[in-house]
């Protein structure tokens, strides 16, 4: 019943099938419903107003875009073929990036499912939305992007994983398929089982086929994959049809997946009481287990990629792909054994950086297939979606509309004066400081300052010289002025995040 999941993705690579792989968005043949002159005007508006939020104000308005957010779980920035990963096959997401723009320095402000999803919905840091783990956030629902869209006439649906307390079904037009499960295989009412990625895809396509066609829609597809199945020692349970994928591939072991990097961590992270180490033992503690875990993890990713391809094919079949803002992103990154760790939570790059691919029909054709390295965040998603619907963000929303970064026709880097050059990362204690300790960080383009408040420990990394973050410079006498400045700046951002 799910045999064609990966096969179809493979065919697309070989034969160029599928709406995106056919090159529907190449500059010369992009079938746009919006007249090119309108796009041109929008592009000029974006240029002249720079990167300020609400830069489209005063510009000729396009119709509100339809919105599809493809949202995967525990999937870091480089688990994409188009991001240079030498193993994982993601032909549909690669095609999405080829017809859109990929943000290479996109991060989450908190790397754990529930908190990051609350930020995605509210456009706020944890300090403001108040969800410290997996409960409902304290921000009024009316200030979330789904609520604003629905109030303004959108048909709004949430498919798949929900990790913010009780799912508020009454706030959505279509929500029968919101899932609270944490398993890869789901028992259905008729006694059969279905893989969670298949169910996510099926529910998404049902939403698209049953929506009213006289109003715009917004659909979030929250895939459970590539999250591990926490209660199963095997951790990753892909579909049988995927098992031939990567079977003969030797997955490269990251350069910092070793004992030396583990010993370089603060001792409370290198401790066997730390949950990241327990999960490392489940997944990565022998070379054989490392290979098997990563193969299965990448199989789950390729299954999500194929599901995304079929959702996009459905948009194309309905003739609405060129009216739709499509976003692919995820809720947090993931350690693949780097530093001797597994999972996420901590402020290192593997854990906080996530993919962000945006395909926007307003985008100048010359932007197709380009990348942008501005420091974008999960907090930017809500205001970006609202702006695409011609709606202003609520006053308490803290992220910024990223569209001005790609609506400008030139390929240059964003004006550093017009976009953030640093951001606050924050993570709560989960259970206890020994299990998952709290952390904060100031992340700049080239430097990162990390604070572990429960242990009074600080770290400082030169990201340019030391991208693996294995040489802590916090004790270096020459770095004390920088350390003091970064401490001060972190406090300032933390204050304004509340």
Q: Which residues form the interface with Ca ion (CB under 5 A)? A: 73-74, 113, 331-332
Name the residue whose CB lies closest to Ca ion.
Answer: 113
Q: How far is residue 150's CA from residue 152's CA, in Å, rounded to a whole number?
A: 5
Residue 161 or 299: the one with the smaller Cβ distance to Ca ion is 161
Give CA torsion, residues 397, 402, 404, 405, to 10 deg.
150
Nearest to 64 by CA among 36, 34, 41, 44: 34
Residue 148 or 353: the one with the smaller Cβ distance to Ca ion is 353
Q: Nearest distance from residue 120's CB to Ca ion, in Å?
A: 11
Residue 175 or 330: the one with the smaller Cβ distance to Ca ion is 330
Residue 131 or 332: the one with the smaller Cβ distance to Ca ion is 332
Q: Nearest distance from residue 162's CB to Ca ion, in Å?
A: 12
Q: Nearest distance from residue 87's CB to Ca ion, in Å?
A: 21
Residue 21 or 133: the one with the smaller Cβ distance to Ca ion is 133
Nearest to 60 by CA among 434, 407, 418: 407
Q: How far is residue 261's CA from residue 257's CA, in Å, rounded to a whole number?
A: 7
Residue 74 or 469: the one with the smaller Cβ distance to Ca ion is 74
Q: Nearest distance from residue 227's CB to Ca ion, in Å?
A: 6
Give CA torsion, residues 282, 258, 104, 203, to 10 deg.
-10
With a CB cutoff of 8 Å and minimum separation 6, the contacts of 382 are: 120, 121, 122, 123, 144, 145, 393, 397, 399
Q: Nearest distance from residue 430's CB to Ca ion, in Å?
A: 13
Cβ atoms of 179 and 224 closer than 8 Å: yes
Q: Nearest distance from residue 229's CB to Ca ion, in Å?
A: 13
Residue 103 or 223: the one with the smaller Cβ distance to Ca ion is 223
The DSSP output letter for 245 is: T
Residue 331 or 360: the one with the smaller Cβ distance to Ca ion is 331
Residue 161 phi/psi, 5° resolution? Answer: -60, 140
Q: Nearest distance from residue 433's CB to Ca ion, in Å?
A: 21
The DSSP output letter for 424 is: E
With a CB cutoff of 8 Å and minimum separation 6, the contacts of 386 are: 145, 148, 149, 392, 393, 397, 401
The answer to whether the Cα torsion of 254, 257, 263, 269 is positive or negative is positive
Q: Nearest distance from residue 483's CB to Ca ion, in Å?
A: 31
């Amino acid at each position: 019943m799910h045999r064609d999941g990966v096969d179809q993705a493979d065919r697309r690579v070989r034969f160029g099938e599928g709406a995106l792989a056919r090159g529907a968005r190449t500059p010369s043949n992009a079938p746009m419903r919006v007249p090119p002159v309108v796009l041109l005007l929008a592009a000029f508006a974006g240029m002249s107003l720079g990167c300020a939020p609400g830069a489209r104000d005063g510009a000729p308005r396009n119709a509100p875009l339809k919105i599809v957010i493809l949202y995967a779980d525990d999937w870091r920035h480089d688990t994409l073929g188009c991001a240079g990963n030498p193993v994982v096959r993601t032909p549909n997401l690669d095609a999405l990036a080829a017809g859109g723009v990929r943000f290479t320095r996109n991060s989450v402000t908190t790397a754990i499912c529930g908190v990051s999803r609350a930020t995605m919905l509210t456009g706020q840091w944890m300090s403001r939305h108040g969800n410290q783990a997996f409960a409902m956030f304290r921000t009024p629902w009316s200030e979330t992007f789904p609520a604003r869209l629905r109030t303004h006439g959108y048909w709004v649906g949430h498919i798949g994983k929900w990790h913010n307390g009780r799912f508020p079904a009454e706030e959505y037009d279509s929500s029968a398929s919101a899932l609270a499960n944490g398993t890869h295989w789901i028992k259905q009412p008729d006694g059969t089982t279905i893989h969670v990625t298949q169910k996510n895809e099926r529910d998404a396509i049902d939403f698209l086929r049953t929506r009213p066609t006289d109003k715009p829609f917004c659909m979030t597809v929250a895939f459970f994959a590539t999250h591990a199945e926490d209660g199963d020692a095997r951790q990753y349970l892909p579909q049988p049809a995927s098992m031939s994928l990567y079977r003969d591939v030797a997955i490269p072991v990251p350069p910092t997946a070793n004992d030396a990097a583990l010993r370089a961590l603060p001792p409370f992270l290198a401790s066997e009481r730390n949950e990241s180490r327990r999960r490392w033992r489940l997944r990565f503690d022998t070379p054989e287990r490392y290979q098997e875990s990563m193969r299965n993890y990448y199989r789950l990713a390729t299954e999500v990629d194929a599901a995304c391809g079929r959702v996009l094919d459905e948009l194309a079949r309905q003739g609405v792909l060129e009216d739709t803002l499509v976003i692919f992103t995820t809720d947090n990154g993931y350690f693949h054994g780097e530093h001797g760790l597994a999972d996420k939570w901590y402020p290192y790059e593997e854990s906080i950086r996530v993919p962000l691919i945006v395909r926007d029909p307003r985008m100048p054709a010359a932007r197709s297939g380009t990348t942008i390295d501005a420091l974008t965040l999960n907090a930017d998603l809500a205001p970006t979606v609202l702006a695409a619907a011609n709606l202003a963000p609520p006053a308490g929303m803290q992220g910024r509309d990223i569209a001005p970064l790609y609506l400008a026709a030139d390929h240059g880097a964003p004006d550093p004066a017009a976009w953030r050059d640093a951001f606050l990362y924050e993570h709560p204690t989960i259970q206890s400081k020994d299990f998952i300790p709290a952390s904060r960080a100031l992340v700049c383009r080239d430097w990162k300052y990390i604070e572990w408040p429960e242990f009074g420990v600080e770290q400082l990394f030169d990201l340019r010289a030391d991208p693996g973050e294995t040489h802590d410079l916090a004790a270096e006498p020459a770095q004390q002025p920088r350390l003091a400045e970064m401490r001060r700046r972190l406090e300032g951002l933390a204050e304004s995040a509340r």
